A and B are shown apart, each in its own frame.
Chain A
Amino acid sequence: MINGYLRQDGRKGIRNHISVVYLVECARFVADEIVVPHREAGAQVIGFPGCFPNEYAQKMLERLGTHPNVGAVLLVSLGCESFNRFALEKVIKASGRPVKSIVIQKTGGTASAIQIGRDWVAQQVNHLAKTPRVEMGMDELIIGTICGGSDATSGITGNPAVGLAFDRLGAEGAACIFEETGELIGCEQIMAARAATPELAIELRASVEKAAMYYDTLGFGSFAAGNAEGGLSTIEEKSMGAYAKSGSAEIVGLIKPGDVPPTGGLYLMDVVPDGEVRYGFPNISDNAEIVEMMASGAHMTLFVTGRGSVVGSAIAPVIKICANPETFARLSEDMDINAGRILSGTSLADVAQEIYEHVVSVANGAETKSEALGHAEFILTYKSFDPIGPACLPA
Chain B
Amino acid sequence: MKSDLLNKLLQLSPDDNVLVALGATQPGENTLADGRKITVQTPVTLGHKIASRNIARGDKILKYGVSIGSATVDILVGQHVHVHNMKSDYTATYMLSETADGDQTKGGQND
Q: By the criterion CB–CB under 8 Å, are A156 and B69 in contact?
A: no
Contacts of A220 on B, CB cut-off 8 Å? 91, 94
Bound form: Cα–Cα A216–B88 in Å: 12
Closest B residue, CB atoms, query A324 = B46
Counting CB contacts under 8 A, is B22 at the interface? yes
Q: By the criterion CB–CB under 8 Å, are B68 and A234 in contact?
A: yes
Bound form: Cα–Cα A23–B12 in Å: 48
Chain B, 90-105, CB within 8 A of any chain A CB: 90-96, 105
Interface size for B (C-beta < 8 A) is 40
Contacts of B61 on A, CB cut-off 8 Å? 233
Q: By the criterion CB–CB under 8 Å, are B69 and A225 in contact?
A: no
Closest A residue, CB atoms, query B105 = A225
Which of B34-42, B51-59, B79-87 makes up part of the contact surface? Answer: B79-87
Beyond A228-B93, A236-B89, A326-B46, list 10 extra A-B contacts (CB 8 Å): A220-B91, A228-B82, A231-B82, A233-B69, A233-B81, A234-B89, A236-B88, A237-B69, A324-B46, A344-B6
Q: By the criterion CB–CB under 8 Å, are B69 and A236 in contact?
A: yes
Counting CB contacts under 8 A, is B73 at the interface? no
Q: By the criterion CB–CB under 8 Å, are A185 and B68 in contact?
A: no
Which of A125-133, A147-155, A161-169, A377-385 makes up part of the contact surface? Answer: A147-155
Counting CB contacts under 8 A, is A395 at the interface? no
Counting CB contacts under 8 A, is A295 at the interface? no
Q: By the criterion CB–CB under 8 Å, are B5 and A344 in contact?
A: yes
Bound form: Cα–Cα A225–B46 in Å: 16
Q: Taking A233-B68, A237-B68 as contacts, is the C-beta distance between A221 and B90 under 8 angstroms?
A: yes
Q: By the criterion CB–CB under 8 Å, are A236 and B90 in contact?
A: yes
Contacts of B23 on A, CB cut-off 8 Å? 343
Contact mask A315-348 → B, CB, 8 Å, 1/0? 0000000001110000000000000000111000
Which 4 residue pairs are nearest across A and B when measured between Cβ atoms? A152-B47, A231-B47, A234-B88, A237-B68
Q: By the criterion CB–CB under 8 Å, are B64 and A240 in contact?
A: yes
A-B contacts, 6 of them at CB < 8 A, read A220-B94, A221-B93, A224-B94, A225-B95, A228-B82, A343-B23
Closest A residue, CB atoms, query B48 = A231
Q: Which of A190, A219, A231 has the most CB of B within 10 A?
A: A231
Counting CB contacts under 8 A, is B26 at the interface? no
Closest A residue, CB atoms, query B111 = A219
Closest A residue, CB atoms, query B46 = A326
Contacts of A186 on B, CB cut-off 8 Å? 66-68, 89-90
Contacts of A235 on B, CB cut-off 8 Å? 88, 90-91, 93
Q: Which of A153, A225, A306 has the most CB of B within 10 A?
A: A225
Distance in angstroms from B45 CB to nearest chain A CB is: 7
| Contact with B90, one of A185, A232, A233, A345 (Cβ below 8 angstroms) | A185
Bound form: Cα–Cα A286–B27 in Å: 37
Q: By the criterion CB–CB under 8 Å, are A324 and B47 in contact?
A: yes
Chain A, 236-275, CB within 8 A of any chain B CB: 236-237, 240
Bound form: Cα–Cα A143–B110 in Å: 37
Bound form: Cα–Cα A60–B91 in Å: 30
Q: Which of A151, A233, A237, A240 has the most CB of B within 10 A?
A: A233
Q: By the criterion CB–CB under 8 Å, are A343 and B22 in contact?
A: yes
Distance in angstroms from A78 CB to nearest chain B CB is: 36
Counting CB contacts under 8 A, is A230 at the interface? yes
Closest B residue, CB atoms, query A215 = B91
Closest B residue, CB atoms, query A216 = B91
Contacts of B81 on A, CB cut-off 8 Å? 233
Contacts of A326 on B, CB cut-off 8 Å? 46
Counting CB contacts under 8 A, is A304 at the interface? no
Chain A, 184-222, CB within 8 A of any chain B CB: 185-187, 190, 212, 215-216, 219-221
| Contact with A306, one of B1, B47, B92, B94 (Cβ below 8 angstroms) | B47
